[in-house]
Chains A and B, each alone.
Chain A
Amino acid sequence: MTTPADTTRMPALPRDGAGIRRLGGVARDRARATLRSASDISLVVYALVLGGGLGLASADYATSGGYPFGGVTVGPWTAWPRAGAVGADPYTRAVNARRGEIPLGVGEGLLITAAQDDEGRVLDAGCTYSVAGVTPPARAWTLTVAGRGARPNGASSLREAFTSTEILREADGTFVITLAPQAQPGNWMPMPRPSGPVRLALRLYDTPVAASAGTLDRSALPAIRRNGCRT
């Protein structure tokens, strides 16, 4: 629907567009002139700066934080069988070197981490989770919860890990660990921090699974269920 006001304003638009086009043309001409006068040396410098900057930035991005490759995903869990092996990929070795990490060797044990629950939602410190089921065969295992980054200063958690010996089990040998901000009956693991994402780390010590992590079955690892969240 056009009103008289619109029709009077219409002719003004092309004039504005032409102005912009003219300005753009001037800029393009100026850029073209700069390019034409750009010497070989400045182009070489441009290529080197671009290459150096992009290369270093991408290398830093790929090796900060967790291991980029080499994980075996089983449901919400990811096993890292090659993290400490001689055949570890260069990225894993760089990550270990930057963090000062001493990964478990293949004959020593296996690290399995989880950052999400069974439905794929990120584990949050404000929620209550139950980690239930069995673990792959191992002489001993520990289940640890940690937040990302450094621990808040001076805060010491009541408990940050369960070991296979400490845990209270059901009659059939399975267990349920309740991960919650508030105290719970049974195997209660307090949240390490008031809010933010958390990670679970299951470390199996002296386990035959380390050599064949690819065959790990979903039912061999505990399920992570979210029971509710603090609103």
Chain B
Amino acid sequence: MTPRGRVLLATVCGLVIAGLVHIAAVLLIPRVSETDALARARTAESLDHAMRIHTLATGDTPPAAEAWLPVPDPAVAVGLCAYDLSEGPLRVAARTGPLMMSMAVHGRRGAFYAVTDQAALRGSLDLVVLTRRQFDEALANEDENEVSRDVRIVATDRQGFVVVRVIAELPSQRAAANEAVQAVSCTVDTGSEETKPGG
């Protein structure tokens, strides 16, 4: 092969490698990122209530410094609960009020379930995020005489997070929106609670 041909071949190989590296890098970024929502949510995993990640400014109180959303909506308070289903199903319990609330369950690949407060029954919204196996177990252990009000969601991934958004349509509702986010509880459902009467 002529020297020029060899250089040409090397350049073509380089471009092919560039394409492969590009694809691999784009696919790897969500997995290795330490600044994405999942990685940040996992730092506050032990909390039993939603971690507030965007607190609305109320009166003289400026928004809290923990905010890391790039362009947050200034009228929406955001809270986050990280889950790791290998520890057990996650139960997210929220009381709905006059403010509009929405919850979305995110896995590694995006939001696979979303629900708003219109789905609430008697003012409460209970989501249980579980794996397929845990779901089957819950079905098997279910008491037929007892109606479960939980919304059961089978997760696509073991790890993820639940986002709670409460919209304050007027500035005077901002404090209430912050409190509504804070009031959302995220607990790991253990087997004993599952069979508890009235639970």
A-B interface pairs (CB < 8 A), number: 200
Contacts of A220 in B (CB 8 A): none
In the complex the two chains form, what is the Cα distance from A94 to B21 in whole Å?
A: 15
Interface residues of B in 1-53 (CB under 8 A from A): 3-4, 6-7, 9-11, 13-22, 24-27, 29-30, 33, 35-37, 40, 53
* B contact patch SS: mixed
Q: Which of B27, B111, B113, B169 has the most CB of A within 10 A?
A: B111
Stretch at the interface among B64-72, B124-132, B187-195: B64-72
Distance to closest chain A CB from B157 (angstroms): 10
Are the C-beta atoms of B37 and A46 separated by less than 8 Å? no
Beta-carbon nearest neighbor of B33 in chain A: A97
Tell yes or no: A43 within 8 A of B by CB.
yes
Size band of the interface chain B makes with A: 35 or more
**Given A35-B7, A46-B10, A54-B14: A93 and B170 within 8 A (CB)?**
no
Are the C-beta atoms of B74 and A144 separated by less than 8 Å? yes
Are the C-beta atoms of A100 and B170 separated by less than 8 Å? no
In the complex the two chains form, what is the Cα distance from A97 to B28 in whole Å?
A: 10
Tell yes or no: A21 within 8 A of B by CB.
no
Task: Give the contacting residue for B13; candidates A38, A47, A55, A205; CB below 8 A.
Answer: A47
Are the C-beta atoms of B70 and A44 separated by less than 8 Å? no
In the complex the two chains form, what is the Cα distance from A164 to B170 in whole Å?
A: 9
In the complex the two chains form, what is the Cα distance from A53 to B14 in whole Å?
A: 9
Stretch at the interface among A12-20, A58-66, A178-186: A58-66
Beta-carbon nearest neighbor of B119 in chain A: A107
Task: Give the contacting residue for A163; candidates B68, B163, B170; CB below 8 A.
Answer: B170
In the complex the two chains form, what is the Cα distance from A48 to B18 in whole Å?
A: 8
Task: Give the contacting residue for A140; candidates B4, B25, B169; CB below 8 A.
Answer: B169
Distance to closest chain A CB from B158 (angstroms): 15
Are the C-beta atoms of A43 and B7 separated by less than 8 Å? yes
Are the C-beta atoms of B70 and A99 separated by less than 8 Å? yes
In the complex the two chains form, what is the Cα distance from A160 to B170 in whole Å?
A: 13
Are the C-beta atoms of A46 and B14 separated by less than 8 Å? yes
Task: Give the contacting residue for B71; candidates A105, A109, A201; CB below 8 A.
Answer: A201
In the complex the two chains form, what is the Cα distance from A104 to B30 in whole Å?
A: 17
Contacts of A118 in B (CB 8 A): none
Interface residues of A in 151-174 (CB under 8 A from B): 156, 160-161, 163-166
Tell yes or no: A52 within 8 A of B by CB.
yes
Tell yes or no: B88 within 8 A of A by CB.
no
Contacts of B33 in A (CB 8 A): 97-98
Stretch at the interface among A3-11, A83-91, A119-127, A221-229: A83-91
In the complex the two chains form, what is the Cα distance from A109 to B102 in whole Å?
A: 9
Tell yes or no: B159 within 8 A of A by CB.
no
Tell yes or no: B136 within 8 A of A by CB.
no
In the complex the two chains form, what is the Cα distance from A43 to B80 in whole Å?
A: 51
Q: Which residues does B use to contact A, with CB under 8 Å?
A: 3-4, 6-7, 9-11, 13-22, 24-27, 29-30, 33, 35-37, 40, 53, 62, 68-71, 73-76, 78, 80, 100, 102, 104, 106-107, 109-116, 118, 156, 163, 165, 167-171
26 A-B pairs whose Cβ atoms sit less than 8 Å apart in the complex: A36-B3, A43-B10, A47-B13, A48-B14, A51-B13, A55-B20, A59-B22, A59-B29, A63-B26, A90-B26, A98-B35, A99-B35, A100-B70, A102-B53, A102-B80, A103-B111, A104-B104, A104-B111, A139-B100, A140-B167, A144-B71, A163-B169, A164-B169, A203-B76, A205-B116, A206-B116
Known: A38-B3, A63-B26, A84-B111; 9 extra A-B contacts, CB below 8 A, are: A47-B10, A55-B21, A55-B25, A98-B33, A102-B163, A140-B169, A163-B168, A205-B116, A205-B167
Q: Which residues does A use to contact B, with CB under 8 Å?
A: 32, 35-36, 38, 43-44, 46-56, 58-60, 62-63, 84-88, 90-91, 93-94, 96-109, 139-140, 142, 144, 146, 156, 160-161, 163-166, 201, 203, 205-206
